[in-house]
Amino acid sequence: MTGTGESSARHLLQHDGIQRLPGNKAELFQLRNFLGYELREELIALIEAERRPSTIADDNGDRYFRTSETCDLSPDEPPVMELEDMLTAFSGIDPDHGEPLQGQRYDVGQEFKPHTDYFAPDGQDFHKYCSVAGQRTWTFMIYLNDVAAGGGTRFKAIKKTFQPEAGKLLCWNNRRPDGRVNPNTLHHGMKVRKGLKYVITKWYREKEWGR
């Protein structure tokens, strides 16, 4: 386990079934069937109970930029604790560097336009979000359900779109090998065309969270 909020390709590739996207533009991986049906349903129920309108850092004035709903998942809930343990083992990252798990819900027509998970170093909210725990390092995202139509996650710079599949995990390094943020991780949570989409996201930081 690392102590810096960092995972590694070497650690991730030890897991059976994991796939790394070819090329050197970004460290990006996927693993199907990471999460089983029962735990997915429990997490969806928690999201439904506590969802609220999503927000963004560095507000750009576009009120349609992120139209999904968000749920800050309580760390005391048994399904959340179970998933946290799974992600710690999978990522190899000290859990003290992790933000609390967050759930997202997308209804028909909702999306999150192209964005990065790291905070723009020249953004108006950079100090607000990074002064304590530092920049985001890795993102781990899990689709909780199949989506009837739409709802893909598109990485334009690397010309790859991932379709929602129940239980599938995506993870990527938000930085380059030299530590600079990686703009190739720009991604678009595309509009749901039919049905609902539920997602869990876990972000890690350079420093310990909340310290």
**pLDDT 10s digits, 19-28:** 999 999 999 9
Q: pLDDT tens, 93-113?
A: 999 999 999 999 999 999 989
- Can you spell out the DSSP letters for 136-167? EEEEEEEE-S--SEE--EEETTTTEEEPP-TT
Distance CA 157, CA 126 (A): 23
Structure tokens at 108: 């028909």
pLDDT confidence of residue 61: 62
Burial group, residue 146, by CB count within 10 angstroms (0-12, 13-18, 19+): middle
pLDDT at site 107 = 95
Residues of the chain with pLDDT below 50 are: none
Q: Domain boundaries in the chain?
A: 9-60+78-205
Q: What predicted TM-score, i.e. pTM, was given to this entire model?
A: 0.93
130, 131, 133, 138: CA torsion to nearest 10: 20
Q: How far apart are CA 48 and CA 41, in angstroms?
A: 11
Q: Which residues pair with 200 in a beta bridge?
A: 103, 142
**Is 1.10.132.20 the CATH classification of the domain at 9-60+78-205?**
no
Exposure pattern of 7-43 as b/e (b: 16+ CB <10 Å)?
Answer: beeeebeeeeebeebeeebbbbbbbeebbeeebbebb
Q: Which residues of 164-202 are buried (b: 16+ CB within 10 A; e: fewer)?
A: bebbbbbbbbbbbeeeebbebbbbbbbbbeebbbbbbbb
CB within 8 A of 60, min separation 6: which ones? none
Q: Residue 65 has what pLDDT? A: 74
HSE-CB at 83 with a 13 A cutoff on CA atoms is 33
Distance CA 58, CA 120 (A): 8
- Per-residue model confidence (pLDDT) at position 5: 85
CB neighbours (10 Å) of residue 161? 13
List, in order, residues 6 or more apart from 158 with CB less than 8 Å away: 21, 23, 25, 26, 28, 184
